[in-house]
Every structure is written in C-alpha cells, then in structure tokens.
Amino acid sequence: MKQSKWIWYPGDFELYHSMLLHNRRRVLGVYNNLNSDKGTEIASTYYYPMWRVDGPRRNCTLYKKAKIEKAETVELISNTDTATLWINGKYHKTGVKVELLPGEYEIKLKGFKDGGFPCFYVKGETFASDETWRVLDFDKKDMSAGCNNAYNNPDDNPEIFNFSYKRMDPVSKISTQGGVLYDFGRETFGKLVLKNVNPEIKELLISLGETEEEATDIYETTLVLNATLENGEFTGESSALRYAYIPSFDGNAELYLDYEYLDIKDTAEFKCDIPLINKIWDTCVYTLHLNMREGFFDGIKRDRWVWSGDAYQSYFVNYYLTKDTDTVRRTIRMLRGTNPMTTHINTITDYTFYWICSIWDYYFFTGDKQFVTDMYPDMLSTLEFIEGRLADDGMYTTRNGDWVFIDWSTFDKKEGPICAEQMLLCHAYTAMAKCASLLSDEKTANHCNDKANYMRSKINELYWDEEKGAFVDDYTSGRRNVTRHANIFALLFDLTSKERQESIIKNVIYNKDITPITTPYFEFYELDAMCKIGDFKYVTDMLHSYWGGMINLGATTIWEEFDPTMNGTEHYAMYGEKYGKSLCHAWGASPIYLLGKYALGVRPTSVGYATFDICPDLMCFKYFEGKVPVLDGEVSVKMDKSSVTVCSSKDGGTLVINGKNYKITKNIPLTVSIK
C-alpha cells in the first residue's frame, strides 16, 4: 500500500508547536510577600511571550478528487473524534474501511479540535493522504495540505514534537552548602529524572544552572524544578542546565537526564592544526544543535523563543553544517504567524526585513520553489504591512510599537530613522523582488526593484557623510554619529559605490576609534564583511580572542555576549539579572559558516548549488581538512601550504585557486599544487 502521511491545514503544525514553545519560558517566582526580599516559596512561574502568539486552526477541511480504475479501500485515522470521511456526499466515521469501486470520487476530510490541532491520516492507494491533498479555505487560495516527513505512521502524533532522547548521567556529584550538586560536564538540555530518593521524600526543589554559581544560588537562579514525586519518581519539564542542585538535602538519589535533541546528522567537518580552533568548531556545532529544536531558538536557558534575527543567522550556519532544511522552513512559518499582521515580527522592524530576506536565501540554497510559492501570500501581506507604515517619502520611519533593534549598541534611534534599518529594508526589497520574479509576479517584482533602487539612492544621498567618509546613523540630529553597523551592511549588501566602500573600509572598519562590535550577533555580519573584503587575519584573530576567550574560561557552549575585561560571575549577568546571560546562544555559532564559506571556501554561485565555487584559503592555518554540504551532496577540502585537494559528490563545482578555475568532476578528487 502507498505510504500515507499525516496531513493538516498548511502551517498549523508549525503554529501549534510555536504556540507551545513560546509559552514554555519560566522564571523564578519566589515571593509570597511583596515586602520581603526573600520569600517563603521558590517556584518556576510562567513568563509571557513578548509578542502575539498565534494558534493553529480549530477546523480543517482537506479534499482530493480522482478517478480510479481499480477498486481500493480507504480508511480515515484522526486525532479528533469529530473527524469525518466524506465521500461523494456520504459521511463515514474514522476507523471504517470503505471500499471504493472504480469510478470518480471526491473525498473530503473534515474535523474540529480545540486543544491541539486536527490531523488526518488516510490509508489508501490513490487516496493515501499526502501533500497531493488540498485545503478548502475561506482565507487563501487553494493550497497543498501540510505534512512533515517525521509523521508518516498511523500511530504518530503530530501534536508531539518528534525529539530523540538519550540517557545522560552526571559526571560528578558533590555535597555543598548543605545540598547536593550534580554536574553533567557540559551545557545540556532535557528532562531531569529523579528516582530512588533516600530518605524517602515527597517534594523537593531542584535548582538548575548553566554554572555552579547559578545552580547553588537558589534565590537568584533562573530556573528551578518543583519536584513532586509520584511512586518515588519525578520527571521534569525539558530545561537547559549543566548543573542541578538539590538544596537542604544530604541523602541519596538517582538523578539523570533524558537528553532531548533532534537527530540531525552533521555533514560539515573541520579539523586544523590549531587545537583551540578545533575546539571552537566543536563548541559551535554543539551550540547550534542545542538550539535547533522545533525551530531555531535564541538560547536554551532563558527565552527559548524563536527570534527572527537570531534565526536568520542560524539558517546560514545550518546551510554550512547539515542537510536539514525542514528546521529552516518550520522556523520561517513560526515567525510569520497568522494574519492580520499587526506588529513587526517579534515586534522588531529589522526582524521582519530579515524574514523576507530569509525566504530568498532559503530558495538560493535549496532550490525549493514550492516553499516560496507556499509562503508568497504571507510575503505579500508582510510587504503590505511594511509599506503601510513607511514615511511619506517611502523610507522607513519608526511607528508606535516598532522596536528598532539592529544590535545591542547605542544608536541615535530616537533622533530619526537610522541608516542600518533603511539598508535592511532596501535589502528586503531586493529579496522580495527576486521571489516575485521567480513566481512571475512581475508587477510586484518591478515595484520592489524600483523601491530598492530608490532607497539605495536615498540612503546614499541622505546618510553619507563626505567628511567622515562613512554612513552616519541619522541625518536629522546633526550628530553625525558613525557606528559600524550601517557601514558593514553597505559592504555586505553592496549598497554603495566601490569608492565609498573603500572609504568605509579605511574610515570605519580599520578605524579603532569607531566603537567595536560586542555581540557575537553582529560579529556575524562584521566577520562576513571582513571575509568578503579578504581580511582573514581579522577573522582568525577574533576566533582566537573572542571565541577562544570563552573557551579558555571553560565555556562548553557559546555565550550570548562576551566581554574579555570582565571577571568571574560578572560574565553571567545580563538584563539586570545576576544570571541573566544565556551561556548557550545560537548566534555564537557563526564560525561554522565562516570557516565553511571562506576557509573551506564552498559557495553556491547559482540556485540550489547547480553551480558552486570552492575557493579555499589557508588563512592562519598550516593545514586543514573538512567538508561542507552542498544541498544533496557534499564537498571535501583538504589543504596545506603546498596543495589543496577537493572532492565533490555533486556536479557543478569549480575549484578556484591560484587565480585559476578547475572544473570538478563528481566523485573524482582533484589536487592542485599551490604556487
């Protein structure tokens, strides 16, 4: 029998899991009495998401029409007891085997579910449920049913996200401060399990921490588990931790972790002669995997949310690490939510612009036109939302409720629209134009190209400061403040002339008086720009000092922010909280992307890696070898000072070295000496 898939209203799977994950954040709620600093009860309490979180549909109708030549039997399975199999006007319940004699059939699946979302599975041949079914809807045009390859068995439940689990035991257990501290050896994520507590006890507190200090500081830690043992056992909610601390306890207990992860294999590899860089690579890989869940998370301890700007970088890292593309698609759907769009994505203007860019980038890396088609109605309404809030001159202007982020840096944000924001919108217009053109919507393509050209020229007219030889943050305050951000975007997105780009490199990039970038988030863009202009030394220096700085302090995952001048627990504070900083933040994983793209040097030159260049550069290394995924294939690169060897499992590659191009034949290694 043909393989069936669970099907649903397209996007509902993502909306549902997005709704759950955005409502999972917890904070320490402690105080029974507002007027006492320390309360009588310590408990994790719910922390509300900062933007509107949309749920899935409660009602769904899917249908398929076909003429069958051979008799077949169909049977509906569903997660809702309202589910009905409607065949040529007659109604059947789930679990009923209906024989279809040869003939023409229209079959509809109808159902309602409040809590969870309605899902359907039809056993059959012609009518096996899959993406060839369509959705009947009052909102949008006829669309393909939603499905996901992880849910192809009748006993699967799409309401339960398909994580894998592995038992992990603590590497150490010590008694300290009257309690017991367990250490899992490195940052990790999953469900803590407690068994065989002796002396027997009904309720106890487990304080979690990314550091020992956090775990044992029970009035200041971020997360606690209030364990109520049933039959002597407790399983906690999935949480981030390295340490687990049971205060006021000197007994024995069996405690371990059901490590929760997505079973996604890495394609990429990187090994070089510098052990610190190898450790950075491994730490970045681990950091990304911990944050690669229902969608790409910002960090696993605190928010555990999907932020568009953070996710945007994770997409690139992921394209250079794995062959998984579903997590990108899921994340893009989660971020957009449903209509009407009433605020920017995550309430952040730049994050809406990145969202548009991400769809073109996704297409460029994967060649998956279907997904662009599926998302296009939402892209159009996003564009409409954006344009409904522009200034009279068509440039971006801040509206009430808009959060202009760009980076955790000081900009003249209140003194008028800042340059970096305009550049992102201009870049988004370009991406939108390319998607529109792909789908033959020439009217939108022309409009967006015109807008991109117009913005580019306005940006160059309004924000360029001839004396400073750079773009300034704003042109209204007269303060002529230069920050790196807009100037980096100008290089990355080719938003100004060659002459001005040279000027930026000299007057901003290499100007030590311009405040440096402090977040790994914006380092992604800065280092990408530095590589683009060929300054690999800057990049490998940053790897050593910045990423290496964290590793040298014992980091097992990359942090949200790092300031080498800080000491001890100073490193853990952020947002006014003693342990507010996330020590496992996806946006620190960019070295995977940078090393893959610029050291191993693999870069697509057309959609879906139909063609790609391999431009390896030894950078600061004596030697390296590694691999990069190229959609459905992979490229290995091995290089030392004398030669480079490449091999690709996919056609279309060109080795670019010594100023020459070498066409690569699939599966045949090519070695070229380096002059």
What does the binding site for its own copies look like in residue numbers (CB under 8 A)?
A: 19-20, 23, 27-35, 41, 43, 45-49, 51-53, 55, 57-59, 61, 82-84, 87-88, 90-93, 96-101, 110-112, 114-116, 137-139, 339-340, 342-343, 347, 401
* CB-nearer residue toward its own copies: 82 or 132: 82
Q: Which residues partner with 100 through β-bridges?
A: 72
| Residue 530 to residue 516: CA distance in whole angstroms | 14
* Torsion from C-alpha of 76, 81, 86, 87, nearest 10 degrees: 30
**To the nearest whole angstrom, how small is the minimum distance from the Cβ of residue 51 to its own copies?**
6
Tokens representing residue 576 in the block = 């006014």
**To the nearest whole angstrom, how small is the minimum distance from the Cβ of residue 252 to its own copies?**
30
CB 244 within 8 A of CB 175: no
* CB-nearer residue toward its own copies: 41 or 250: 41
How would DSSP label each residue in 60-74? Answer: EEEEEEEEESS-EEE
* CB-nearer residue toward its own copies: 63 or 623: 63
Q: Tokens 């199999």: give the residue.
A: 85
* CB-nearer residue toward its own copies: 304 or 585: 304
**To the nearest whole angstrom, how small is the minimum distance from the Cβ of residue 597 to its own copies?**
37
**To the nearest whole angstrom, how small is the minimum distance from the Cβ of residue 55 to its own copies?**
5
* CB-nearer residue toward its own copies: 188 or 239: 239
* CB-nearer residue toward its own copies: 45 or 252: 45
* CB-nearer residue toward its own copies: 117 or 624: 117
Tokens representing residue 338 in the block = 């449903």
> Distance from CA of residue 456 to its chain's centroid?
29
Answer positive or negative: Cα dihedral of 489, 495, 496, 501: positive
**To the nearest whole angstrom, how small is the minimum distance from the Cβ of residue 342 to its own copies?**
5
Which string of b and e fits 385-399 if b means at least 16 CB within 10 Å? bbeebeeeeebbebe
CB 237 within 8 A of CB 260: no
**To the nearest whole angstrom, how small is the minimum distance from the Cβ of residue 227 to its own copies?**
16
In this structure, what are the phi and psi dihedrals at residue 600, rounded to the nearest 5 degrees?
A: -65, -30
* CB-nearer residue toward its own copies: 334 or 639: 334
**To the nearest whole angstrom, how small is the minimum distance from the Cβ of residue 59 to its own copies?**
5
How many CB atoms sit inside 10 A of residue 468's CB?
A: 17
Residue 185 one-letter amino acid: G
* Torsion from C-alpha of 37, 42, 43, 45, nearest 10 degrees: 0
Q: Say whether 106 sits in a helix, a strand or coil.
A: strand
Q: Tokens 């500081």: give the residue.
A: 217
**To the nearest whole angstrom, how small is the minimum distance from the Cβ of residue 290 to its own copies?**
24
**To the nearest whole angstrom, how small is the minimum distance from the Cβ of residue 283 to its own copies?**
33
**To the nearest whole angstrom, how small is the minimum distance from the Cβ of residue 263 to its own copies?**
26
The DSSP element (H or E) to which 150 belongs, if any, is none
* CB-nearer residue toward its own copies: 95 or 516: 95
The conformational region for residue 482 under phi > 0 = left, psi -120 to 50 = alpha, else beta, is beta
* CB-nearer residue toward its own copies: 111 or 299: 111
Tokens representing residue 171 in the block = 């590497």
| Residue 105 to residue 121: CA distance in whole angstroms | 18
Q: Which residues partner with 84 through β-bridges?
A: 93, 110
**To the nearest whole angstrom, how small is the minimum distance from the Cβ of residue 365 to its own copies?**
32
* CB-nearer residue toward its own copies: 46 or 510: 46
Tokens representing residue 34 in the block = 């507002």
Q: Residues with Cβ < 8 Å from 96, sequence gap 6 or more?
A: 75, 76, 85
